[in-house]
Amino acid sequence: MPASETVDFEREFEELVRELRALPSDTPASVRERVRELGEPQARRVFPRLTWRRAVLVLVPACLIAVVAAAAVHGLLSSSASKQTATSTNQAESGAGAVKSQPNPPATRATPLQGVTRKTPTFDQALTPSAIPSPSPGRYQNYQADLRVRVKDLDTLGDKTAQAMQITQQLGGFVASLSQSSTAGQPGEADLVLRIPVARVTDAMVQLSGLGTVLSQNVSIVDLQRVVQQQRQQIRALQLQIARITAALQQPGLSADERLRLQFLLDDTRRNLANATGRNKATLREAALSRIAFSLTTQKPIAPAKKHHSSFFGRAVSSALHFLGGAGAVAVAALIIVSPLLVLAVLIWLGVRAFRRREAQRLLGTT
């Protein structure tokens, strides 16, 4: 490189340095104000800022995973517990079967009605009209009967119960009450209380006894003729007393005290007449309708339903699904309870956000 070029370069560098040093070193006031407005730089975040969207994306899957894991654990534990329970139950049933190997004696039904006549026919025969005490025609009587019949099985029990109700309706009566039970390991039972006109009670007993094998029959007949006559005499006496008191009230010249006493006596007599009339109607109704307590039984215990034992995995899955169903129900209930608060919080957040936007727009417009 020639020496002239080197000298020129050094001269130019010195001139450039001289010019730079000649420039003013103070920063303009406008720039300083701008820097002050920027403020101190914020420290760099180690972790990202947690927003509600990020929280939802993280917490929802985590909660679902936790619930599914809890359901799986619950299913496994429940399946193991049910297996142990089933084993102990089978052992207990086998032991009980060894103890109850002897047949039980037939149970006796010892609830006789207030009876004047009782007949127990041969078990394999149905009742005949001659074997049934009949009410006396032309007299008021309280007729009650208790009839117990054995049927073949549970299906027959339901059919015979329906036939007993049809017989009752055909004879002009009605079913006062009905109770039917079919528990595994116990005899099937059906208990009916039938109200049938006394004039048709013999036909009812014959037809009902034909529904199965008669086990027991109890008949009670209580004469109500004297009771009805006494009630009617009392009613006539009260009616006569009311007529006399009414006639006494219509006489002139009665003082206020006498009229008030007669009025009280008249009201009391009318109440007694209403009570006596009600008792007489109840007695006549009792004499018009017989009461038959009709029972059907299978006598043999109903065989228990066979239990379907599922596998360990199936029991675990079923228990887990039940757990998830319960958790879902609790979550829905909690959502229903908290939903008003959530709606209120969203409305407040939207209102604050709209207010901040409006203030920012106002400041920008002023600037």
pLDDT, tens digit only, all 367 positions of the chain: 455 555 577 778 788 777 777 776 666 677 667 766 776 666 565 556 656 666 666 666 777 787 677 767 766 677 666 556 555 545 544 444 333 333 333 333 333 334 444 444 444 456 777 778 878 888 888 889 999 988 888 888 888 888 999 999 999 999 989 988 877 777 888 899 999 998 888 888 888 888 888 888 888 888 888 998 998 999 999 999 999 989 888 888 888 888 888 889 989 999 999 999 999 999 888 888 889 999 888 877 665 555 544 566 676 677 767 777 777 777 777 778 877 888 888 888 888 888 888 877 777 766 5
Per-residue pLDDT, 109: 38
Q: Which residue has the tokens 């709209």?
A: 354
Asked whether the beta carbons of 174 and 319 are under 8 A apart, the reply is: no
Per-residue pLDDT, 278: 93
Q: What is the value of pTM for the model shown?
A: 0.46
Q: Which residues lie closer than 8 Å to 289 by C-beta, 6 or more apart? A: 173, 195, 196, 197, 198
pLDDT digits (tens, 9 = 90+) for 98-108: 333 333 333 33
Asked whether the beta carbons of 238 and 137 are under 8 A apart, the reply is: no
Phi/psi zone of residue 349: left (φ > 0), alpha (ψ -120 to 50 degrees), beta?
A: alpha
Per-residue pLDDT, 131: 76
Strands, DSSP E only, in 118-212? 141-150, 174-181, 187-197
pLDDT digits (tens, 9 = 90+) for 175-228: 989 988 877 777 888 899 999 998 888 888 888 888 888 888 888 888 888 998
Per-residue pLDDT, 267: 92
Which one-letter amino acid corresponds to residue 353? Answer: R
The percent helix, strand, coil of the chain (3-state, each to 5) is 60, 15, 25
Task: Return the structure tokens found at 199.
Answer: 């004039």
- If you write DSSP's letter for every residue of 288-322 in order, what string do you get? HEEEEEEEEEEEEEBPPPPP-PPPHHHHHHHHHHH
Q: Which residue has the tokens 């004879």?
A: 171
Per-residue pLDDT, 97: 39
